Amino acid sequence: MTFEPKDKTYRIGMGILEIVAPILGANPNDLIRPLLYNLASEHSVMVALWHVTESQRIVLIDSVTPSKIVHARMETGSRLPAMIGAVGRVYAARLDVTEDEAKAEYAKLQWQAAPGFDHYWNDIQEARETGYAFDFGNLFIGLNIAAAIACDGDGHPRLGLSAITIAGQTDVETLRAAAIGLKEAAGLIETNVFARSRGAIKGA
């Protein structure tokens, strides 16, 4: 549990999935939602949950936003190419795509402010090491995004988690802290929802 000093209440923390894993039978999204709330509240960002489809798309299936912050509005069911944005960079990293594969996919993507392939590829390379990625105003001008990916037991990307903030509202270090939190949450989801071995999780 996480104590909220402002409200003098307790909030369900990220460790809750380890407790409920043995009785997992409900909709996994209902069990993941406390993670989203915890991250959103801790870092003052909107946190979105994306389903990764077999057709290489990501679909927004849930999002949470703490009160009293200005935030972007995204409709549940919104769809994007899986390789675009912050989620796309870390998705590509988790798939271990080659440079040629990444270049071919990048040519198909539509950005509001394209980062350029070299920058995009460097971000993918960095995401291989860190387990998270960023998009600073490329996908949507004025929005800064951090993201991580949760893979299933076979190592296939299944869920994307992103922290979304309006540019200037959150500094880079705060967004980096959110990215680390997303990576940790993704690790919990992989272990307790998808039964993925901790030894198989990069950086665990």
Query: To the nearest whole percent, how much of the chain has pLDDT over 90?
Result: 66
Q: What is the pLDDT of residue 170?
A: 86
pTM higher than 0.85, yes or no? Answer: no
**Average of per-residue pLDDT across 127-155:** 96
pLDDT at 197: 65
Q: 14-47: per-residue pLDDT in tens?
A: 444 444 444 445 556 677 888 899 999 999 999 9
* Mean pLDDT along residues 187-192: 90
CA trace torsion 87, 85, 76, 184 (10° rounding): 30
* 178 Cβ contact partners less than 8 Å away, ≥ 6 residues apart: 39, 42, 43, 45, 146, 163, 170
Task: State the average pLDDT for the chain.
Answer: 85
pLDDT value for 198: 56
Give the per-residue pLDDT at 194: 83
User: pLDDT tens, 43-76?
Assistant: 999 999 999 999 999 999 999 998 777 777 888 9
